[in-house]
Amino acid sequence: MTPTGRHIPDHLTSPAARALKSWEALLAVVAVAIFILNSMASPYFLDPWNLSDATFNFTEKAMIAFAMAMLIVAGEIDLSVGAIVALASTAMGMAMTAGAGTPLLVAVGLATGLACGAFNGVLVARFGLPSIVVTIGTMSLFRGISYIVLGDGAFTGYPPGFAWFGQGYVVWVITVELVIFTLSALVFGILLHRTSFGRTVQAVGNNATAARFSGIRVDRVRFILFLLTGLMSGIAAICLTSRLGSTRPSIAQGFELEVVTIVVLGGVSILGGSGTIPGVVLAALVMGLVTFGLGLLNVPGIVMSIVVGGLLIGVIAIPRLWTMSRSR
């Protein structure tokens, strides 16, 4: 028997016990609680088609959040993701007006996302510039290009087949976006938690200097992560543009804040070195349920922004306050 008062180290407890004490378990409880409260607050919440529509509140942002999670685990950040979505959508609109069909529009969206990610990656990995400064600059650059191209106008009239990505259903209430979200979660979960590249990412985030002396090509890892973030932003641009059926320069405005909030709420350390994809999945679900529930109650959008900002501050401050209180 364990003597009274003796602490058992986490690595000696069972996997089930560790799972119950994890941040992911807390998020799961919060998600269930929000689901129950929403069902009590609105009689329309439990309608299957309404629940299907609720997925649009988080799928596009969560696609980007998976790549952003790996980037933050590596100790970097990309604040230009919303602007990348806008530029990719603008590029697709220009291709559409030139007569491009759905396959070419998808290719243009992906290529634009990759090009923007590569641009960020070169500035950070090759020239050693701070990622937060670089991506604040490219956020203005990419968004500014969209405004120069469109001004106060918009691209409309996308091909009917293009609408499948953002408005289509695979079976019954299961949307195409939800399937893409699920597949992305599986891919990034395996990449971060079951591959040597994922372990390399965590090593870089914990101590980039030690990782470099261990033979890890730190700059290459960072460049790949920015590429992945750009790619997922391109995929999100395809889904969002398809769902809206139009492109405006203000599209995806504020995505940066919500994506970072999902990642940090999911338990990814903003300082790098730790985090899980399942946590990000649960955080995206929590965010989606909160925003959809507030929407059903006709809560103004500005209040939703306040909630998102409060969540971001809270999930960063609470662990630190908890640590300080325990140390005292």
In the predicted structure, residue 6 carries a pLDDT above the cut 50: no
Alpha helices by DSSP H, listed for 130-269, are: 131-150, 164-167, 176-193, 196-206, 208-213, 218-244, 255-265
| Domain extent for 237 | 47-319
pLDDT at 2: 42
The contacts of residue 298 (CB under 8 Å, 6+ apart) are none
CATH of the domain at 108: 1.10.3470
In this predicted structure, what is the pLDDT of residue 17? 59
- Say if residue 11's pLDDT is above 60: no
Split into its structural domains, the chain has a count of 1
For 169, list phi and psi in degrees, rounded to 5.
-125, 140
Q: What is the pLDDT of residues 186-227, one digit of tens each?
A: 999 999 999 999 999 999 999 999 999 999 999 999 999 999
**CA angle, corner 133, sides to 129 and 135, nearest 5?**
100
pLDDT in tens, 37-61: 999 988 888 899 989 988 998 999 9
Whether 91 is covered by a domain: the verdict is yes
Q: List, for residues 29-43, the tens digit of each pLDDT value.
A: 989 998 999 999 888
- Could you tell me what percent of the chain has a pLDDT over 70? 93
Helix axis angle for 102-121 and 218-244, nearest 10°, is 150
Instruction: Report yes or no: 282 and 24 within 8 Å, Cβ to Cβ.
Output: yes
Mean pLDDT of 125-143: 97
pLDDT of residue 241 exceeding 70: yes
- Cα 72 to Cα 267: distance, rounded to the nearest angstrom: 11
pLDDT at 12 over 60: no
Cα separation of 61 and 266, whole Å?
Answer: 13
- The owner of tokens 């090009």 is 115
Q: Which residue has the higher pLDDT, 300 or 77?
A: 77
Distances (CA, A) of 113 to 87, 95, 108, 298, 301: 8, 15, 9, 34, 28
Q: State residue 305's pLDDT score.
A: 81
Q: Is the pLDDT of residue 5 over 50?
A: no
**Does residue 42 lie within any of the structural domains?**
no
In a domain, 21, yes or no: no
Taking CA 260 as the corner, what is the angle to CA 306 and CA 135, rounded to the nearest 5 degrees?
Answer: 115
**326 is a domain residue:** no
pLDDT band at 8 (very low <50, low <70, confident <90, very high): very low
Residue 136 lies in a domain: yes
Residue 111 has pLDDT above 70, yes or no: yes
> Is 143 a residue whose pLDDT tops 90?
yes
The predicted model gives 126-154 an average pLDDT of: 96
**Residue 160 lies inside a defined structural domain of this protein:** yes
The contacts of residue 11 (CB under 8 Å, 6+ apart) are none
